[in-house]
Amino acid sequence: METLTALKTAHMVATVVVLLCALGLGIWVWRTKRNGDATAASRTLQSPRVFIWLLMGLALLSMPFTGWWMVHLVGWPLGKTWLLASSVLYTVAALAWFWLLVRLNKVRKTPGGVGKFTFALALFSFVCFVAIAGLMGAKPV
Protein backbone atom coordinates (compact mmCIF):
# COMPACT_ATOMS: atom_id res chain seq x y z
CA MET A 1 0.00 0.00 0.00
CA GLU A 2 1.28 3.45 -0.83
CA THR A 3 2.48 5.48 2.16
CA LEU A 4 0.14 8.42 1.59
CA THR A 5 -2.88 6.15 1.23
CA ALA A 6 -1.94 4.27 4.39
CA LEU A 7 -1.53 7.54 6.29
CA LYS A 8 -4.87 8.87 5.05
CA THR A 9 -6.55 5.65 6.08
CA ALA A 10 -4.92 5.66 9.53
CA HIS A 11 -5.82 9.32 10.05
CA MET A 12 -9.45 8.81 9.01
CA VAL A 13 -9.78 5.67 11.14
CA ALA A 14 -8.40 7.55 14.16
CA THR A 15 -10.87 10.39 13.59
CA VAL A 16 -13.80 7.99 13.27
CA VAL A 17 -12.67 6.06 16.37
CA VAL A 18 -12.50 9.24 18.47
CA LEU A 19 -15.88 10.49 17.32
CA LEU A 20 -17.65 7.12 17.64
CA CYS A 21 -16.16 6.41 21.08
CA ALA A 22 -17.16 9.87 22.32
CA LEU A 23 -20.64 9.51 20.87
CA GLY A 24 -20.99 6.01 22.33
CA LEU A 25 -19.93 7.11 25.81
CA GLY A 26 -22.24 10.11 25.63
CA ILE A 27 -25.22 8.02 24.58
CA TRP A 28 -24.45 5.44 27.26
CA VAL A 29 -24.34 8.08 30.03
CA TRP A 30 -27.47 9.81 28.71
CA ARG A 31 -29.48 6.57 28.52
CA THR A 32 -28.46 5.35 31.97
CA LYS A 33 -29.16 8.74 33.55
CA ARG A 34 -32.52 8.83 31.80
CA ASN A 35 -33.33 5.42 33.26
CA GLY A 36 -32.76 6.80 36.76
CA ASP A 37 -29.15 5.82 37.45
CA ALA A 38 -27.58 8.91 39.04
CA THR A 39 -24.11 7.35 39.19
CA ALA A 40 -23.82 6.73 35.44
CA ALA A 41 -21.45 9.58 34.76
CA SER A 42 -19.16 8.62 37.63
CA ARG A 43 -18.91 5.06 36.33
CA THR A 44 -17.67 5.99 32.82
CA LEU A 45 -14.07 5.22 33.77
CA GLN A 46 -14.75 1.73 35.05
CA SER A 47 -13.86 -1.33 33.01
CA PRO A 48 -14.68 -2.26 30.25
CA ARG A 49 -15.31 1.36 29.35
CA VAL A 50 -11.70 2.17 30.26
CA PHE A 51 -10.82 0.36 27.01
CA ILE A 52 -12.86 2.95 25.11
CA TRP A 53 -11.00 5.80 26.85
CA LEU A 54 -7.64 4.17 26.06
CA LEU A 55 -8.68 3.65 22.44
CA MET A 56 -9.68 7.31 22.20
CA GLY A 57 -6.38 8.39 23.76
CA LEU A 58 -4.35 6.26 21.35
CA ALA A 59 -6.27 7.67 18.39
CA LEU A 60 -5.78 11.22 19.70
CA LEU A 61 -2.04 10.64 20.04
CA SER A 62 -1.70 9.23 16.54
CA MET A 63 -3.52 12.05 14.74
CA PRO A 64 -0.83 14.78 14.95
CA PHE A 65 1.84 12.39 13.69
CA THR A 66 -0.14 10.99 10.78
CA GLY A 67 -1.45 14.45 9.93
CA TRP A 68 1.99 16.05 9.90
CA TRP A 69 3.41 13.18 7.85
CA MET A 70 0.60 13.51 5.27
CA VAL A 71 1.10 17.27 5.00
CA HIS A 72 4.84 16.69 4.58
CA LEU A 73 4.34 14.08 1.85
CA VAL A 74 1.80 16.19 -0.06
CA GLY A 75 3.98 19.30 0.25
CA TRP A 76 1.44 21.70 1.70
CA PRO A 77 2.90 24.61 3.65
CA LEU A 78 2.07 24.51 7.34
CA GLY A 79 0.95 28.15 7.11
CA LYS A 80 -2.28 27.37 5.25
CA THR A 81 -5.22 28.79 7.15
CA TRP A 82 -7.19 25.55 7.36
CA LEU A 83 -4.13 23.67 8.64
CA LEU A 84 -3.42 26.29 11.29
CA ALA A 85 -7.09 26.46 12.32
CA SER A 86 -7.35 22.69 12.61
CA SER A 87 -4.10 22.52 14.59
CA VAL A 88 -5.31 25.14 17.06
CA LEU A 89 -8.72 23.45 17.32
CA TYR A 90 -7.02 20.08 17.85
CA THR A 91 -4.83 21.44 20.63
CA VAL A 92 -7.76 23.06 22.43
CA ALA A 93 -10.01 20.01 21.97
CA ALA A 94 -7.32 17.58 23.14
CA LEU A 95 -6.69 19.68 26.25
CA ALA A 96 -10.45 19.82 26.93
CA TRP A 97 -10.64 16.05 26.47
CA PHE A 98 -7.77 15.52 28.91
CA TRP A 99 -9.37 17.90 31.41
CA LEU A 100 -12.63 15.97 31.04
CA LEU A 101 -10.82 12.72 31.72
CA VAL A 102 -9.26 14.16 34.88
CA ARG A 103 -12.63 15.50 36.08
CA LEU A 104 -14.36 12.17 35.47
CA ASN A 105 -11.57 10.33 37.29
CA LYS A 106 -12.04 12.62 40.32
CA VAL A 107 -15.78 11.96 40.22
CA ARG A 108 -15.12 8.23 40.05
CA LYS A 109 -12.91 8.36 43.14
CA THR A 110 -15.27 10.56 45.14
CA PRO A 111 -18.80 9.85 43.90
CA GLY A 112 -21.02 12.83 43.57
CA GLY A 113 -22.88 14.72 40.95
CA VAL A 114 -21.27 15.53 37.65
CA GLY A 115 -21.79 19.20 36.98
CA LYS A 116 -22.78 21.01 33.85
CA PHE A 117 -19.17 22.06 33.31
CA THR A 118 -18.16 18.43 32.75
CA PHE A 119 -20.90 18.08 30.15
CA ALA A 120 -19.80 21.37 28.57
CA LEU A 121 -16.21 20.08 28.32
CA ALA A 122 -17.37 16.90 26.64
CA LEU A 123 -19.63 18.74 24.22
CA PHE A 124 -16.97 21.36 23.45
CA SER A 125 -14.30 18.79 22.62
CA PHE A 126 -16.76 16.77 20.52
CA VAL A 127 -17.82 19.85 18.54
CA CYS A 128 -14.16 20.80 18.02
CA PHE A 129 -13.34 17.36 16.64
CA VAL A 130 -16.34 17.48 14.31
CA ALA A 131 -15.19 20.93 13.10
CA ILE A 132 -11.69 19.56 12.52
CA ALA A 133 -13.11 16.66 10.52
CA GLY A 134 -15.07 19.20 8.47
CA LEU A 135 -11.95 21.30 7.85
CA MET A 136 -9.99 18.21 6.84
CA GLY A 137 -12.73 17.04 4.52
CA ALA A 138 -13.34 20.40 2.85
CA LYS A 139 -9.70 21.57 2.76
CA PRO A 140 -10.64 25.20 2.10
CA VAL A 141 -7.95 27.34 0.53
C-alpha angle with apex 23: 118 to 125, nearest 5 degrees? Answer: 45
Picking from 68, 141, 128, 137, the residue whose alpha carbon sits closest to that of residue 96 is: 128
Q: What is the pLDDT of residues 28-76, one digit of tens each?
A: 878 887 887 777 666 666 656 778 888 888 988 999 999 899 989 988 8
As a whole-number percent, the residues of the chain with pLDDT over 70 amount to 88
pLDDT for 36 equals 79
Enter the pTM of the model: 0.78
